Amino acid sequence: MVAADLDERQIREARVGVLLGLLDNRLDIWSTRDRGGDVLRAYEGCRRGEARELRRAAEVLNSGDKVAILIGQGARDAVAQVRQVADLTGAGVAKALLGKDVMSDDLPYVTGSIGLLGTRPSYELMRDCDTLLIVGSNFPYSQFLPEYGKARAVQIDVDGTRIGMRYPTEVNLVGDAHSTLRALLPLLRRKDNRRWREKIEKNVADWWHSMQHQAMVSADPVNPMRIVHELSERAPDDLIVTADSGSSTNWYARNLRMRGQMRGSLSGTLATMGAGVPYAIGAKFAHPGRPVVALVGDGAMQMNGMAELITIARYQGLWADPRCVVCVFHNNDLNQVTWELRAMGGAPKFEESQVLPDVNYAAFAASLGLPAITVTDPDELGSAWDQALKADMPAVLDIRCDAEIPPIPPHATADQVRSMTEAILKGDAEAARIIWDAIRTKLAELLP
C-alpha cells in the first residue's frame, strides 16, 4: 500500500503509530493495524529505525563526495547527532529560517540561513553538493535546493506527510531526528578526503568577513545591517531574539550570529507582519529569566507593536530578568514590499502605498515610563545597545535607518537584477542613490 491509496483515517492512524513509537523511544518497527488486522505501511520505508532503510540511507551518504545537510527546527533535539554526521561525511550544514537557532553559527561548517533571505555559503552548498540530507525541515522553496537530478537525497522527518514534498528524496525515514540519526551513525564511514569541507569552511569565513564590511557601508543615516551587526557583537549567550516580517528580517537572517544558548524565532510559516513584539512578550513569559530582543520594522510597530508596548509596560514586574528590548527599524517605508516590487515586479516605489507616517516611537515609549533611545548616528549604535541590554527594565531603541540599502540576495538572479534596474529607471524617487548604495554594498561583499 502506498500513500496515494490511504484515506484520511488511515493517515491519522499512521501518525498515531509514529507518536507511539516516539513515546516508546525504541528503534524497533512500529506498525498500525486497520479493522481487518492487516499491517498498514503508510509510506515505503517509513518504519522507524527499519534496518533495511537505514542501510539504504547510509549507502547514499557514504557514496557522496560533496554532502550537504539541511536542518530545520525539527532537528533541535538532535544537534549532537547532526554534528557527528557532519563530521563523518565532511558536510556543511545549512539552516531553514525557523531552524536558525538550532546550531551555533560559530561552527565553521554551518553556512547559515537558506533561501531568499539566506547566505551565499548556503546557496553555494546546495548548488555544488551531490548528496543532500534533510533533517526536520519542510523548507518549501525548491529553487534553493540542489537542481533536480543532480543530488541523491535522504530525508528524516517525524511527520510522514512531509516526506518527499519538496525534493525527490531517494530514502525516507519517518521518525524523530535524534533516534533516527543515532541509529544511522554506526553505518556511516568517515570521509578521508576533506577538500569539500575545507571549501565550505573557507566560504563561511569569507562570508562573515563580508557581512562585517557590508554592515560598515555608510548610509543615510544608519545602515540597517549595522543595527543587527552591533547587536550580534554584544548579544548575551542566553539572548532570545524575535524578528518581525519585513526588510529587517533579512538582517536577522544574515547578520545575526547564533551562539551559546541563544534562541530566535519569527513568523516563518506565514511571514505575517506584527508578530515580532507579541513573540517577544511570549518569550518573556515562557523564559522570564532571560533577556529578549525584538527586531521590528516601523510598519509592524504601527500595526500593533506600539499597543504591545503597553502590554510590556504592564507586565514587566512579573519577569525575573526585566530586559525586553524593542528595536525599531525606523525608515518610514513598508520596505520589504518596496524592494519586492522593484526586484520582482519591475515597478518603482509607489509612494502612496509605501510611505508611512513619521512617528516618534521613543517618545511613545517614554510616555509609558520605558527607557527609550533615539539613534541617528551609526557610531552611537554600540553604546545604545549596551545601554538597552544593561537596563533594569524593558527599553525601546528608535533607530533612524536608511530605506535605500538594498537587501540584495547574494544569489540574486539576472532577472531580479534586471527588474530592479528597470524599476529604478522608470522614475524611482531615489534612483541615483539606490544604484550607488547597491554598488557599494555588493562591492563590500565581493571585494572586502
> Which of 195, 200, 187, 256 has the alpha carbon at shortest distance from 225?
256
* 273 vs 296: CA distance, rounded Å: 9
Choice between 38 and 104, residue whose per-residue pLDDT is larger: 104
pTM for this predicted structure: 0.84
410 φ/ψ angles, rounded to the nearest 5 degrees: -65, -15
Say if CB 249 and CB 276 are below 8 A apart: no
**219-273: per-residue pLDDT in tens?**
999 999 999 999 999 999 999 999 999 999 999 999 999 999 999 999 998 889 9
The pLDDT of residue 104 is: 98
Cβ atoms within 10 A of the Cβ of 188, count?
Answer: 18
262-282 tens-digit pLDDT: 999 999 988 899 999 999 999
353-357, 367-371, 388-392: least confident range: 353-357
Percent of the chain exceeding pLDDT 70 equals 79
- Note the Cα 158 to chain centre separation in Å: 20
Tell whether the model's pLDDT for residue 12 goes beyond 50: no
Q: How far is Cα 87 from Cα 109, in angstroms, rounded to an integer?
A: 9
Mean pLDDT of 100-115: 98
Name the phi and psi angles at 319, rounded to 5. -105, 125
What integer pLDDT is reported at residue 88 of this predicted model?
A: 98
Peptide bond into 371 cis (omega under 30): no
CATH architecture, domain 45-199: 3-Layer(aba) Sandwich (3.40)
pLDDT at residue number 2: 37
The pLDDT value given to residue 434: 60
Average pLDDT estimate for 146-163: 95
Residues 172-222 have pLDDT tens digits of 999 999 999 999 999 999 999 999 999 999 999 999 999 999 999 999 999
Average pLDDT, the chain: 86
Select the more confidently predicted residue: 440 or 365.
Answer: 365
C-alpha–C-alpha distance, residues 167 and 148, integer Å: 8
Joined grid coordinates for residue 96: 531553514
- How many Å apart are CA 136 and CA 100, to the nearest integer? 12
pLDDT (tens digit, 9 = 90+) per residue, 81-93? Answer: 999 999 999 999 9
CATH architecture of structural domain 216-446: 3-Layer(aba) Sandwich (3.40)
Domain boundaries, the chain: 45-199, 216-446
Chain-centre distance of CA 157, in angstroms? 18
CA distances from 210 to 214, 216, 433 (A): 6, 10, 21
The number of beta carbons lying within 10 Å of the beta carbon of residue 402 is 23
Sequence-distant (≥ 6) Cβ neighbours of residue 55 within 8 angstroms: 187
C-alpha 127, offset from chain centre: 19
Q: Strands 292-297 and 395-400: what pairing?
A: unpaired
Q: By C-alpha distance, which of 48, 31, 90 is closest to 181?
A: 48
Q: pLDDT value at position 447?
A: 61
Per-residue pLDDT tens digits for 327-341: 999 999 988 877 777
Within 13 A of 352's CA, how many CA atoms are on the CB side?
A: 0
Contact predicate 444/217, CB 8 Å: yes
Residues 139-147, mean pLDDT to the nearest whole number: 94
Confidence of residue 354 (pLDDT cuts 50, 70, 90): confident
How high is the pLDDT of residue 394? 98
Q: 162 with 139: CB under 8 angstroms? A: no
In the chain, the amino acid numbered 196 is: W
pLDDT-wise least confident of 47-51, 316-320, 363-367, 390-394: 47-51
CB 420 within 8 A of CB 395: no
> Does this chain's domain 45-199 share its CATH topology with 216-446?
yes
* The pLDDT of residue 64 is above 60: yes
Please enumerate in sequence order all residues whose Cβ is within 8 A of that of 395, keeping only pairs 6 or more positions apart, or say none. 323, 324, 325, 326, 365, 370, 371, 372, 373, 387, 388
pLDDT in tens, 379-436: 999 999 999 999 999 999 999 999 988 887 767 665 556 665 665 566 666 655 665 5
